[in-house]
Amino acid sequence: MNSHKHARLTAKGRALLVSRVLNEGWTMSAASEAAGVSKRTGFKWLARFKAEGAAGPADRSSRPKRSPRALTAQKQAQLEDLRRRRWPLWRIAEQAGCGVATVSRCMKRLGLSRLKSLEPPQPVVRYERAAAGELLHLDTKKLMHIDGIGHRITGDRRTTKRGIEPYRESRRPVGLSQTAVV
């Protein structure tokens, strides 16, 4: 059991309740009321302290001690085999006679939730060279000059050109941008 921040009694609070009853002589009604829990809860913590000692008031795991309907190792191996054949989860569940959620949890534990997990990742192709400057990569882009002003300035949409017209004398390159990566 994991106590949350709004729990009435944390492990320290439970130990304090038991200490008040056993060491300080408080009645269970008074100690329980001071802790903000019922008298029955107070008696439960007192009984656990008497049975287990100082470890009694501590938090316990809420995980079940056994799960009778859990998948067996053989069943998990069968589900894994079907998944490695690239079957979808609903089809595996139908074949195995269990729920899709059960199959999904099993595949998540095995790391096979997604089909891409079935194949090893492809090696990355890198442009690697032995010496610096052996490979030169160059990107270029022409920056064109567009004549005239637009409708945002003039307010007249009738004379607006739609897109850039084919290259002509008035549309001349303004500059050339180059980037070199070594």
Q: Are residues 50 and 78 in the same domain?
A: no
Give the phi and the psi of residue 181 in degrees, each rounded to 5. -120, 125
CA distance 28 to 42: 7
Q: 64: which 2 tokens? A: 């079940």
Establish how many alpha carbons lie within 13 A of residue 54's alpha carbon, considering only the half-sphere containing its beta carbon. 0
pLDDT of residue 141: 78
- Owning domain of residue 43: 11-55
Reply yes or no on whether the pLDDT at 123 is more than 60: yes
Q: Residue 1: inside a domain, yes or no?
A: no
Structural domain tally of the chain?
Answer: 2
Question: Residue 165 domain-assigned?
Answer: no
79 shares a domain with 51 = no
How does DSSP classify residue 93?
H
pLDDT at 173: 53
Is 161 within a domain?
Answer: no
Q: Is residue 31 part of a domain?
A: yes
Tell me the one-letter amino acid at 164.
Answer: I
With pLDDT > 90 as the criterion, what percentage of the chain qualifies?
37
Say what the pTM is.
0.44
Residue 162, domain member (yes or no)? no
Confidence of residue 159 (pLDDT cuts 50, 70, 90): low
Tell me, yes or no, whether 18 and 45 share the same domain: yes
